[in-house]
Amino acid sequence: LSHGAGGRAMAQLIGEIFAENFANDLLAQGNDQAVFSVPPGRLAMTTDGYVVSPLFFPGGNIGSLAVHGTVNDLAMAGARPLHLSASFILEEGFPLADLARIAESMGAAAREAGVKIVTGDTKVVERGKADGVFISTAGIGVVPDGLDLSGDKARPGDVILVSGTIGDHGVAIMSSRENLQFETQILSDSAALNGLVADMVAACGESLRLLRDPTRGGLAATLNEIARQSNIGVRIEEDALPVKPEVAAACELLGLDPLNVANEGKLIAFVAPEAAEKLLRVMREHPLGKDAAIIGACVDDPHHFVQMRTSFGGGRIVDWLSGEQLPRIC
Amino acid sequence: MTQPARQREQQPTRLHLRLRGAVQGVGMRPFVHGLAARFSLSGFVRNDSEGVLIEVEGFTQDFVAALHAELPPLARLDSCECEEIFPRGDTGFVIETTRQGRAQTRIPADAATCEKCLDDLFDPSSRFHLYPFVNCTHCGPRYTLTRALPYDRAQTAMARFPMCEDCANDYADPTNRRFHAEPIACEKCGPRLSHQPQDIVAALRAGKIVALKGIGGFHLLCDARNADTVLELRRRKDREAKPFALMLANAASVALFGRPTPAELALLRAPAHPIVLIDSSRNLPDTVAPDMTRLGVMLAYAPVHHLLFRAAGAQRNAPCAFAVVATSANPGGEPLITDNDEAQRKLEKIADLIVTHDRDIVVRADDSVMHIVDGAPAFLRRARGFVPEPIDLGEDGPSVLACGGHLKATLTLTRGREAFVCQHIGDLSDAETFRFYEESATHLLRLLDIAPEAVACDLHPDYLSTRFAEDFGAPVLRFQHHAAHIAAIGAEHGETQILGAALDGTGLGADGAVWGGEVLRLDGHGGFTREGSLSALPLWGGDRAAREPFRMGVAAFAALGRLDEASAFFSAVPQAAQAAKMLGAKHPQTSSLGRLFDAAAALLGYPERQEFEGQAAMRLEALAREPRVLAGGFVWRDGKLDFTPLLAHFIDARPDARAGAELLHGTVIAGFSEALCALTQSGEKIALGGGCMMNRILSEGLAARLREENRAPLLARKLPPNDGGLSLGQAALARAVLMKV
Ligand SMILES: [Fe+3]
Ligand SMILES: [Mg+2]
Ligand SMILES: [Zn+2]
Ligand SMILES: [Zn+2]
């Protein structure tokens, strides 16, 4: 991939790659914007930037990740995602074949999630000014009337569910980064959750308080965020947390806590206690929720602590780490 | 007596004396009253907000000398200003009642039962005979009982026990040892124990585990000579190997279980009655303190303890073979239990018998732990018997609240020239401990009645103490961990510009790297320069490296460029092979001496998981008898101290664990003393701090070596050298910053 002179031919080539993989009527019009009408309801909109190293990892790549992440951000409001935009910053010299692979999996992810990538943009920057490719996206969706999910809605007594095993994505990324070999390969959980959310909303919409996808910072960061936003405390049970044995082993090796590790295809749900069992059943019926579990509940707590009852019965504080996991043992 | 002769020569005078220090609640006023009577002086004594004020009139020449020479056991004078004033011609001597306002500014520390109260306890004719809560102004609980200032009965846990007539008379009688003994009580009017001593002893003898409410919290007790019981206690407490402390009847019994030096015996008998580490005779079951050559011992310090040992057959001052393990009742790393209901709830599965009493413990305080290092006492943990005694900072300064570290947390609040360091709180990793931490902050602020100008904390963003500082609502000053370690030693010794070594576990460095073996120079204004450090090893696995020495073992191979040999060397640890494969990638590096000890421990035969951080290093310390230097075992060049030659020796020569431990200690001492000598400027003192200075061989070796080179090493004496002292260092640095402008 080159930049500057000869860029025009290149731009055409890139345009074809996207047209082929994202194929939809709006994009095919070739305008600088997409014009469409939306079904009734309130609009949800989100935007996100994707930088991940490595670009290709077990279970996905930056392209599928960008679609899943954007779709999930919409879905966490209970929205039905409609259309996405995608903008690419490419580093000079980036192999075209890699771009094609990325576009292909983006297209596939979009089709699977039932959304269209309706507009986009590409820039090529000098070598060293980007790391292969950066993708930034926007998405819009429609929230059904009467549904109002928000991070400040949790109340003491609410039950907390997670849709499946935690830590898979972050550990997959780190294993491939560190060249870590396991008997069972750890795959990223990257997936679009809008289908699962639709089932959950249909069954328990009126009892749902909020949904969130515990991406960067993992479950720990997300629970802490919600505790602050909702002015509550959170208690979870270590023994109830679904963690794949190979993920637990990798975390142990790497000195990480699965609670702090990113997920890309999981959600946590806060629900009124009386609806918790029903919601769990509904989630488990969906392929992306088959390992769903009730992991804890909300309590009154002016400190907004997230505490985990460990197997020994202690009340460990689950931290909200500011960045990498810096050692604290002195 | 030369008094009559002098009286003939001299005119009567009137003296005005101002006493500061630990002078309230320690029997000062009756003592002064007695002195005045002895010398036939008139005048008065009273407590006020600054301490004690005395005026005496008559032939006062010998009064001051006697005052200094005969102070009550718990009194300590920080200063005594004396001036002659115009005589008033009053007659008689009176103890004036406490004035209103900010009076009684100090609460004394808790003190072990004194000899006179022991006389009363075992005297059938005393009204305190066998009463488990006997005390006087020379002894008993104080800080742990007190809710608020001023320190008098109404503000303590004794408020709910109205004094009987006898107690009220003693309390009001200036000639009585119990004059204003706030916790005074007797069988008729005071607190009661839930069980009879002989029943408790019967349970212990039967191999049961007993929870006993004491002064600063509940202990778990069991018969130390019963290996099965000790093991059962370990199982129920989920504590595999961390050494237990022993409680013994009296000083005469110590020689039955260990070989105490005179200094250690003196420390055991000090009013605080701390746990003291002594050389073990190793005639108790191994389960008491596995792998350790030293034993933590304390003497019975509350009347109830004395009654227990009496019921077990102990005679006063005679050796008694009955020994009990006495460990804090703190399930799952939570704070020590102090409350009766909580004890019933949380100790139900640990203790077979729960013994309570109805005097509340207001302030929790663990047993203090000390040892003799380089000829003088040093702390491993500072709590009961020492808090809330302030540390004198030598000069007035702004008030700051310093929030400490993450593990072994303490808080320090300064007022004027004094620094009040709270008791050992624990590791800020569970909510109960954090609550205790917050309570301690609130308690300090209320007792000292002062609003700090700034809060100080560590650079580490994820210490809960840092979060606490950020939420406090005053300007936040952040200090590098190891600069604070060195400043803490400096503050104790009145030094601000100082060279220091922080030999430590890990702390966040000023450059974002993980530090821990640092030579820093403090500039006296809150800043520092990094003069030298250990050359770094890869830190693989974050905090896990502190518990799993093989990680640092593999890091040693990586640092030597011999990673391919690591998995064969650690063939017994399957994870080591994975580690070896991964360590090529970029990893955080650490210059921590604690982690270097872990690397050495791994290479010397302890690669596997340890129950607590520092355990591997403690094992090496216990093994080493005499530190020995490996020639060429270190390189000191360009501000970097490199011990990889020593690590290579461990890999290639495969010394046994003891020889290796001795080489490790000796070579680390040699390396750091060379670095420190090279860096000292003339006359500069050298502070030695950080968690590794809990290691006695290292502390003593380094101090001795530096003195041989005519340097002046300073060790931690008033606080532990580990993170327990961090808050004092932060406070000192914060004051320096605020005083600069
Ligand atoms: Fe430290
Ligand atoms: Mg987002
Ligand atoms: Zn006494
Ligand atoms: Zn009485």
Binary contact (A255, B540; C-beta < 8 A): yes
User: Which residues on chain A are in Cβ contact (under 8 Å) with B691?
Assistant: 330
Q: What pLDDT score does A311 carry?
A: 74
Cβ-contact B216, B363 below 8 angstroms: yes
A35 reaches B (C-beta below 8 A): no
Name the pLDDT band for A2 (thresholds 50, 70, 90): low
What is d(CA B384, CA B377) in angstroms, rounded to the nearest whole number? 16
How far does residue B648's CA lie from ligand 1's centre (Å)? Answer: 27
Binary contact (A314, B505; C-beta < 8 A): no
Percent of chain B with pLDDT over 70: 97
pLDDT at B521 over 80: yes
Name the pLDDT band for A325 (thresholds 50, 70, 90): low
Of the candidate ranges A147-161, B167-181, B207-221, B668-682, the one whose mean pLDDT is the lowest: B167-181
pLDDT at A294 over 80: yes
Q: What pLDDT score does B151 carry?
A: 80
User: Which residues on chain B are in Cβ contact (under 8 Å) with A330?
Assistant: 405-408, 481, 504-507, 516, 594, 691, 722-723
CA distances from B379 to A181, B369, B393, B429 (A): 47, 6, 19, 23
Within 10 angstroms of residue B215's Cβ, the number of other Cβ atoms is 26
What is d(CA B397, CA B736) in angstroms, rounded to the nearest whole number? 9
A23 reaches B (C-beta below 8 A): no
SS3 category, B214: coil
Which residue in B487, B527, B518 sits closest to B725, CA to CA?
B487
Q: What pLDDT score does A208 carry?
A: 97
Name the pLDDT band for B105 (thresholds 50, 70, 90): low
What is d(CA B47, CA B621) in angstroms, rounded to the nearest whole number? 49
Find, in chain A, the residue whose alpha carbon is nearest to that of B690.
A330
Cβ-contact B241, B391 below 8 angstroms: no
Binary contact (B578, A180; C-beta < 8 A): yes
Please work out, in degrees rounded to the nearest 5, the angle formed at the alpha carbon of residue B375 by the alpha carbons of B373 and B379. 35
| Among the partner residues A181, A314, A328, nearest to B463 by beta-carbon distance | A328
Residues with CB under 5 A from ligand 4 (ion): B 164, 167, 186, 188-189
- Domains detected in chain A: 7-143 (3.30.1330.10), 159-317 (3.90.650.10)
Cβ-contact A116, A26 below 8 angstroms: yes
Q: Could you tell me which residues are beta bridge partners of residue B328?
A: B219
**Residues contacting B9, CB < 8 A, separation 6+:** none
Best mutation site among B429, B433, B463 for testing chain A: the one with the most A CBs within 10 Å?
B429
Q: What pLDDT score does B175 carry?
A: 85
Binary contact (B407, A328; C-beta < 8 A): yes
Q: How many helices (H) and strands (E) does chain B have?
A: 22, 30
What is d(CA B581, CA B599) in angstroms, rounded to the nearest whole number? 18
Mean pLDDT of all residues in B350-378:
97
Find, in chain B, the residue whose alpha carbon is nearest to that of A315.
B430
Binary contact (A316, B429; C-beta < 8 A): yes
Name the pLDDT band for B585 (thresholds 50, 70, 90): low
Looking only at the bridges linking them, the beta strands covering B454-458 and B400-402 are parallel
Percent of chain B with pLDDT over 90: 82
Q: What pLDDT score does A13 carry?
A: 84
| Among the partner residues B333, B507, B582, nearest to A330 by beta-carbon distance | B507
User: Which residues on chain B are in Cβ contact (under 8 Å) with A177?
Assistant: 585
Mean pLDDT of all residues in B8-20:
84
Supply φ then ψ for residue B414, to 5 degrees. -105, 145
Q: What pLDDT score does B584 carry?
A: 61
Mean pLDDT of all residues in B448-458:
95
How far does residue A228's CA lie from ligand 1's centre (Å)? Answer: 30
| Among the partner residues B464, B540, B722, nearest to A317 by beta-carbon distance | B464
Within 10 angstroms of residue A126's Cβ, the number of other Cβ atoms is 11
Mean pLDDT of all residues in A87-111:
95
pLDDT at A326 over 80: no
Q: Which of B6, B8, B14, B29 is catalytic?
A: B29
User: Which residues on chain A are in Cβ contact (under 8 Å) with B590?
Assistant: 327
Cβ-contact B441, B468 below 8 angstroms: yes
Distance from the A321 Cα atom to the nearest Cα atom in chain B, whole angstroms: 6
Q: Which residue has the tokens 């799993």?
A: B548
Name the pLDDT band for B378 (thresholds 50, 70, 90): very high
pLDDT at B253 over 90: yes
Supply φ then ψ for residue B597, to 5 degrees. -60, -40
User: Which residues on chain A are in Cβ contact (under 8 Å) with B464?
Assistant: 317, 319
Q: Would residue B47 show up in a list of annotated catalytic residues for this protein?
A: yes
Q: What pLDDT score does B633 carry?
A: 98
A326 reaches B (C-beta below 8 A): yes
Cβ-contact B261, B202 below 8 angstroms: no
User: From the CA of A44, which ligand is nearest?
Assistant: 2
Residue type, A312: F
A314 reaches B (C-beta below 8 A): yes
Name the pLDDT band for B701 (thresholds 50, 70, 90): very high
SS3 sequence, B278-311? EEECCCCCHHHCCCCCEEEEEECCCHHHHHHHHH
Q: Would residue B29 show up in a list of annotated catalytic residues for this protein?
A: yes
The mean pLDDT value of chain A amounts to 92
pLDDT at B1 over 50: no
pLDDT at B207 over 70: yes
Q: Which residue has the tokens 């212990």?
A: B204
User: From the CA of B505, which ligand is nearest?
Assistant: 1
Find, in chain B, the residue whose alpha carbon is nearest to that of A317.
B430
Tens digits of per-residue pLDDT, A163-193?
A: 999 999 999 998 888 777 777 789 999 999 9
Cβ-contact B469, B455 below 8 angstroms: yes
Best mutation site among B460, B462, B587 for testing chain A: the one with the most A CBs within 10 Å?
B462
- Domains detected in chain B: 3-95 (3.30.70.100), 197-371 (3.90.870.10), 534-675 (1.10.357.160)
Please work out, in degrees rounded to the nearest 5, the angle formed at the alpha carbon of residue B304 by the alpha carbons of B303 and B310. 90
pLDDT at A292 over 80: yes
A317 reaches B (C-beta below 8 A): yes
Binary contact (A303, B543; C-beta < 8 A): no
Residue type, A176: S
Q: Which run of H or E residues covers position A210?
A: strand A208-212
| Among the partner residues A317, A319, A327, nearest to B542 by beta-carbon distance | A327
CA B126 to chain centroid: 35
Tens digits of per-residue pLDDT, B324-346?
A: 999 999 887 889 999 999 999 99
Residue type, B417: R
Find, in chain A, the residue whose alpha carbon is nearest to that of B595.
A330
| ipTM summary value | 0.87
pLDDT at A6 over 60: no
Rounded to a whole number of angstroms, the distance between the first and last alpha carbons of chain B is 57
Comparing B589 with A279, which gets the higher pLDDT?
A279
DSSP state of B64: H
Name the pLDDT band for B319 (thresholds 50, 70, 90): very high
How far does residue B439's CA lie from ligand 3's centre (Å)? Answer: 30
Q: What pLDDT score does B324 carry?
A: 98
What is d(CA A170, CA A168) in angstroms, rounded to the nearest whole number? 6
How far does residue A70's CA lie from ligand 2's centre (Å)? Answer: 7
B691 is written with which tokens? Answer: 């968690």
Tens digits of per-residue pLDDT, B533-583?
A: 999 999 888 888 999 999 999 999 999 999 999 999 999 998 888 888 777
Looking only at the bridges linking them, the beta strands covering A233-237 and A306-309 are parallel
DSSP state of B530: E
Supply φ then ψ for residue B703, to 5 degrees. -60, -45
pLDDT at B397 over 90: yes
Q: Which of B14, B47, B234, B521 is catalytic?
A: B47
SS3 category, A293: strand
Tens digits of per-residue pLDDT, B433-445?
A: 999 999 999 999 9
Binary contact (B430, A317; C-beta < 8 A): yes
User: Which residues on chain B are in Cβ contact (under 8 Å) with A313?
Assistant: 331-332
User: Which residues on chain A are in Cβ contact (under 8 Å) with B434?
Assistant: 303, 305, 317
Residue type, B383: A
Cβ-contact B94, B57 below 8 angstroms: no
Cβ-contact B591, B517 below 8 angstroms: yes
Q: What pLDDT score does B152 carry?
A: 81
Residue type, B645: P
pLDDT at B45 over 60: yes
Percent of chain A with pLDDT over 90: 76
Q: What pLDDT score does B277 carry?
A: 98
How far does residue B167's CA lie from ligand 4's centre (Å)? Answer: 4
A305 reaches B (C-beta below 8 A): yes
Q: What pLDDT score does B474 carry?
A: 97
Find, in chain A, the residue whose alpha carbon is nearest to that of B332.
A314
What is d(CA B379, CA B369) in angstroms, rounded to the nearest whole number? 6
Q: What pLDDT score does B665 carry?
A: 98
Of the candidate ranges A248-257, B188-197, B696-705, the one whose mean pLDDT is the lowest: A248-257
Which residue in A78, A77, A52 sits closest to A65, CA to CA?
A52
CA dihedral A104, A106, A112, A118 (to 10 degrees): -110
Tens digits of per-residue pLDDT, A128-161?
A: 999 999 999 999 999 999 999 999 999 999 999 9
Find, in chain A, the residue whose alpha carbon is nearest to that of B590.
A327
How far does residue B116's CA lie from ligand 4's centre (Å)? Answer: 17
What is d(CA B326, CA B295) in angstroms, rounded to the nearest whole number? 12
Q: What pLDDT score does A117 carry?
A: 96
Tens digits of per-residue pLDDT, B294-312?
A: 999 999 999 999 999 999 9
| Among the partner residues A180, A314, A325, nearest to B542 by beta-carbon distance | A325
